[in-house]
Amino acid sequence: MISPVEIKILMNYNIITMTQPVKKYHYSVHLPNKNYKGIVVTNAAHLNGSTYVATSSTNNPILKFDIYKDGKLVENPVSIDSFSKTKVKFIGFIKDKLAVIPRHNWNIYVLNDDGKGHKPITINSDQDLKKKFVEAITYKNTNVCKCEDCYHLIGFVQYYGFNIFVQLSCKHKTDQNLLYIIKANINTASMECDDDLEVTNEYNYYRLCLDNGMSERQAKSAIFTGLNYDGSKVYLISAHGRQGFLWEMSYFNNISYLGPPTLVAKLRRKPRGIYSFDDKLVVVCTNIEHQRAHYYMISH
């Protein structure tokens, strides 16, 4: 059993960090047709030997790639039609079911078992997740901005429950760039959440950026663009302009505690999706250039 003193040490460890040495390898994959002019990658996820890449296209919003043994993407992906006419911002899985968050939207939609159609996640039959999440945050911390437009739904992962990541990037108080984690109890059969949302973590992302040598401009406006949980760590990617940042958060299972974000790497290309494969991290970048999607494979 870890003592309260040790827990306090864990909670304060690595809040001020230096970028760790990592090996980054840049690759690209050819896309099947020429209909990607002006289209960008918006997110990525991995399940059962396949990689799912979300794009801003409403014709081919999600592409399913097979992968080689070394983790590289195989060309000629298959288009997932169930979310056509939807611009997807985040893609993930809930109990092996494909789930997405549309762009400029706080709803979470889960693909039906038959692969046709999808259903929304609700909280006591209410689909207005934004209001519920912001209310939970402002109830926990009464000093933060209450304007719903200043909150940004990053995505979700499953560890010790269903966890939603929300960023407050305040337009009124520029130093309020905060990261929140909200735990919800979800019935994966009905996709219904209980109303007792719990804000389990709050991190001052503005201060984390400054402590890691970023400019005040970056600290004020850098936004999170994706996340992934690999069974022991949560990985987050954030971006400011064309530059990207990779963060990791260690999960201490014996005390059910998620440690603060630690900066792992800086990326030259803007990241939009991240997933784990074997001992590597794969970070998919936003720009599609000359019919090719770009990605990093990172080991550290």
In a domain, 9, yes or no: no
* pTM, 2 dp: 0.87
Cα separation, 222 vs 83, in Å, equals: 29
* CATH number, domain with residue 234: 2.115.10
pLDDT the model gives residue 33 = 67
Burial of 253 (0-12, 13-18, 19+ CB in 10 A): exposed
pLDDT the model gives residue 10 = 35
Cα separation, 235 vs 169, in Å, equals: 20
131: containing domain: 19-299
Nearest to residue 183, comparing CAs of 250, 258, 88?
A: 258
pLDDT the model gives residue 225 = 93
CB count in 10 Å sphere of residue 298: 19
| Residue 199 · residue 137 · CB < 8 Å | yes
In a domain, 10, yes or no: no
CB count in 10 Å sphere of residue 49: 8
Could you tell me how many residues make up the chain? 300
In a domain, 2, yes or no: no
pLDDT the model gives residue 2 = 35
**Across the 300 residues of the chain, what is the mean pLDDT of every consecutive 10-residue run?**
35 39 81 74 90 86 90 88 82 88 88 75 81 92 90 90 91 84 88 88 92 89 92 91 90 77 90 90 88 86
Residue with token string 């999706």: 273
In a domain, 33, yes or no: yes
In a domain, 14, yes or no: no
Output the CA angle 248-51-277, nearest 5 degrees: 45
227 CB contacts (<8 Å, ≥6 apart)? 154, 155, 157, 165, 234, 235, 236, 237, 274
Measured in whole angstroms, how far is the alpha carbon of residue 42 from the centre of its chain? 11
In a domain, 6, yes or no: no
pLDDT the model gives residue 34 = 63
CB count in 10 Å sphere of residue 260: 20
In a domain, 208, yes or no: yes
In a domain, 12, yes or no: no
Cα separation, 280 vs 277, in Å, equals: 5
Domain count, the chain: 1
